Amino acid sequence: MERRSFLKMSAALGCAATVTGCNSSSDDANVTPPTTPVGDEQITWSACLVNCGSNCPVKVFSRDGVITRVETDHDVEDGENIYQVRACARGRSLRQRTYAVDRLKSPMKRVGERGEGKFVPITWEEAAETIGTKLSSVIAEHGNKAIFRSYGSGAYYGFASNACFNRLFNLNGGCLSYHGNYSWAQQQEAAAHTFGTSSTKGSATVTLANSDYFLGFAYNPSEMRQSGSGEGYDFLKALQKANGLKVTMIDPRYTDSMLGKESTWLPIRPGTDAALAEAIAYQMISSGWVDANSLEFISKHTVGYDAASIEAQKAIFAASSDEKELEYAAVMNSDENYRDYILGLGIYADAPKKTPEWAEKITGVPAAQIEQIALDLQSAKAPYIVAGAGVNRQANGEQTVRALYMLSVLTGKLGTLGSSNGELPNMSRMYRGSIPTGTNPVKEKISFFTWSEAIHNGETMTARSHGVQNTDGLDTPLGTNIKVIVSASDSTLLNQHAEINNTAEILKDESGVELIVSCDCWMTPSAKFADIILPDTSWLESNDLVDDSYASGAMSYLTAMKSAIEPMWDCKSMYEASAMIAKYMGSGEEAFTEGKTEAEWLEELYQQTKASSTNVGVEPAFPETYAEAQEIGLFRKHMDDNHVALSSFINDGEALATPSGKIEIYSAELAWRSANWDQENSNLNPTGVKGDTITAIPQYTVTWDGYEDEETSVDYPIQLAGYHTKGRTHSSYHNVPWLREAVEDAVWVNPIDATKYGVASGDNVEMYNDRGSIAVKVRITPRVAPGVFALGQGAWFSPGTTVGSTGHIIDEGGAINSLTRYQPSPVAKGNPQHTIRVAIKKI
């Protein structure tokens, strides 16, 4: 007998013994022993669908309805263009995750206080009727804007995704939607107001092979994108091809993207990257290099470097008949030009010049190293610059990202193969059909991050105060508070949102949100705050058609998922759940399903995918039917993407999607928002929040809890940097013991700070500030900058019973968001969750 069969039979016999032991009836004691498993081992394809950017395929082995093991792709020999898509440790642990002890097994309703985790099982019909009836009554009383489907990225299905709930709502009058996301909100705004792009249109990673200098800020694809066919893989291959490429990495941590691949690591204090960029710019401008080498490029392709370019664009807007352009002209001020700001001239004469010595005191990067970066950028023919997303998740991260983008502009080498503009690399992928969601009749959108505030204050939130989109005017209020939240494959309801303790109190207050629905596979910290829980099927129990997500690199792939086992317990997919709820709403179930079964939907979406011209050349060729595709499983295509950032603008003359059609060093839209939106010192409604400012040109800004914030640095002297650990994707996979053993959850401390604070590796400490306390283990390492501690984000919030140093119950789970602050950023109204100051105490 095989070991797996023996173990399965032993487990079954153990269960039988347990049941028998609980009943004294002699009849019940006559249990028929289970038969020995005799079925053949089955192999099916599934995928890991978390938000890492790759959706790696996995091969699932099962026998007699039990998953026996999971392997990664090894079906082809690695070639130049077609190669294996090797899943990381997370994808390879999917058997453990599928059979986790905290799997949700049936619909449940809350019987205790929100957050207590006290529930009783109910039927699907009761759950669907409760939800559908409440949705209908809230819509009748408060309107569709009172319904919110929160941001969730824990399951990137193609068919049975959380978009099914959007389809449900759109068939019934819509719901309140959001703009932005927890990953990229501030950089999206920065790119839009600089290049007219979305922040992911940098040069393709493969083009790095043609570069002669690489400058990365918080760029860490080897940990962020671990897939064997993704951005991290492309990065390594490009470095190999560009043998001898000088690589400068700037990051508070010495990451796995370095480990000898870098020429220089420059540890930097969190939130000070903009100051570093400005000092590099000072060197390039003050030395005369820009005037001699790139001024012609700047004059032709940009607005805002000097006063003359702003005046010229202002005149164009002033002569326009477009109302918005006339508003731009009215607020543009040529005194606020970039050159004067950097050099300390004109209206900036009383401000410090942005010299390397000035920046060294702020960033911790030596002035000589700053000067060297400037020289490297000047001498490179094709400098590839990239800013990782970590720099945008800071207080006023919009300013930081725009400041970094300026370096590529100053070189004058944009549009050259091997160069890039600072945005994240462009990714190409095959087309995949997905379930249609329809059009949302509700036009207004709030920031993804401000939902917790909208529970009690949504009715007064406006474009001016909170960046609400699509209202009739700056001061037209949203008009409604959020009354129902549907949270599907989502941990932003609590664990991944800022300021967990405050968020928990908001959710506990039933006078605010009246119904919280959580649809998930596991009892997460967020699910504990639900009123109704809907148990979703796991990926290994699902049929679906999924793509390679958003960061899979040069080779695209599609996976025709086939369920390895039947849905366990009483779990149903998000498609089935939404269809059942539809029965109790105005649209009805028939409108939702269109009379199609899951199999019919998947066949239709497969045929759309098969017919797409984008997918021509896929290997192997698509078969006739979806069922046949499931037997093959994995389909690949090299996308031959050599995208060069801004090439169509620089080389082909296509206008950018900015108001001027050019690169905007001086943003007309930000000048307008600066004049009209609420900020730290605005005339109408000053927020009083340090660093809550909007400026037309990028400027390093001293913010709350930043390195230069004297108000908090005494009580909380340590800057805490969050990062993406290899053992989780955000909070996903936290409940897999294998991964908790493989990737330690500990705070990184530099040896200098270990001596200063009297801690050693293995010590347990309380890390705290005014917002909360967490318990965490210490790991001493030189891989983090002095004065900075580093902690992987995503650990599950688990409050104990001990009161911490600032009056909060200590979170024994070590969730970093127990320490972060809810303070929407000035422009995007996004999340500043990497701006944290703390103190520590040994436990």
Which 8-state DSSP code applies to residue 176?
A: B
Contact criterion met (CB below 8 Å) for 476 and 469:
no
Structural tokens at position 781:
């390492």
Whether residue 90 lies inside any domain: the answer is no
Structural tokens at position 417:
């193969």
* 76: number of Cβ within 10 Å: 13
Q: What are phi and psi of 604, to 5 degrees?
A: -65, -45
The chain-wide mean pLDDT, for the chain, equals 94
In a 3-state reduction of DSSP, which class is residue 324? helix
CA–CA dist 176, 190 (Å, integer): 25
pLDDT in tens, 102-113: 999 999 999 999
Same domain, 295 and 349: yes
Same domain, 729 and 807: yes
Angle between helices 273-286 and 367-379 (to 10 degrees): 60
Provide CB contacts within 8 A for 479, sequence distance 6+: 143, 145, 458, 459
Same domain, 378 and 292: yes
Same domain, 390 and 252: yes
Buried b (16+ CB within 10 A) or exposed e, 584-605: bbebebebbbeeeebeebbbbb
In a 3-state reduction of DSSP, which class is residue 490? coil
pLDDT in tens, 112-155: 999 999 999 999 999 999 999 999 999 999 999 999 999 998 89
Q: What is the CATH number of the domain that holds 783?
A: 2.40.40.20
Same domain, 169 and 215: no
Whether residue 79 lies inside any domain: the answer is no
pLDDT at 626: 98
In a 3-state reduction of DSSP, which class is residue 545? strand
Structural tokens at position 773:
């306390």
- How many structural domains are present in the chain? 4
Whether residue 277 lies inside any domain: the answer is yes
Same domain, 238 and 209: yes
Overall size of the chain counted in residues = 843
Strand spans (E) along 512-590: 515-520, 532-535, 544-546, 555-561
pLDDT at 2: 39
Residue 300 burial by CB count (10 A; 0-12/13-18/19+): exposed, middle or buried?
exposed
User: pLDDT at residue 11 above 90?
Assistant: no
Whether residue 43 lies inside any domain: the answer is no
Whether residue 85 lies inside any domain: the answer is no
Query: What average pLDDT does this structure show over 763-768?
Result: 98
pLDDT at 34: 61
CA–CA dist 596, 694 (Å, integer): 50
Distance of CA 780 to the CA centre of its chain: 28
Same domain, 208 and 349: yes
Same domain, 300 and 414: yes
pLDDT in tens, 368-410: 999 999 999 999 999 999 999 999 999 999 999 999 999 999 9
Split at pLDDT 50, 70, 90, the class of 759 is very high
pLDDT in tens, 15-55: 333 333 334 344 444 556 666 666 899 999 999 999 999 99
Contact criterion met (CB below 8 Å) for 506 and 512:
yes
pLDDT at 31: 55
Domain holding 820, by residue range, is 710-842
In a 3-state reduction of DSSP, which class is residue 372? helix
Whether residue 704 lies inside any domain: the answer is no
Same domain, 716 and 759: yes
Same domain, 144 and 253: no
Which candidate, 345, 378, 374, 338, places its Cα nearest to that of 359? Answer: 374
Q: 66-72 and 746-749: which strand pairing?
A: unpaired
CA–CA dist 344, 732 (Å, integer): 47
Whether residue 54 lies inside any domain: the answer is no
CA–CA dist 564, 45 (Å, integer): 8
Q: What is the CATH number of the domain that holds 464?
A: 3.40.50.740
To the question of pTM greater than 0.85 for the whole model, the response is yes
CA–CA dist 446, 596 (Å, integer): 34
Rg from Cα positions in the chain: 27
Same domain, 209 and 312: yes
DSSP structure string for 48-78: --STTS---EEEEEEETTEEEEEEE--SS--
The angle formed by the CA atoms of residues 287, 288 and 294, to the nearest 5 degrees, is 125
CA–CA dist 249, 502 (Å, integer): 36
Same domain, 242 and 379: yes
Q: What is the CATH number of the domain that holds 234?
A: 3.40.228.10
pLDDT at 244: 87
Task: Choose one of 638, 664, 684: the last residue of a domain.
Answer: 638
Whether residue 116 lies inside any domain: the answer is yes
Split at pLDDT 50, 70, 90, the class of 683 is confident
DSSP structure string for 632-652: H-EEEEE------TTHHHHTT
pLDDT in tens, 611-630: 999 999 999 999 999 999 99
Query: What average pLDDT does this structure show over 813-818?
Result: 98
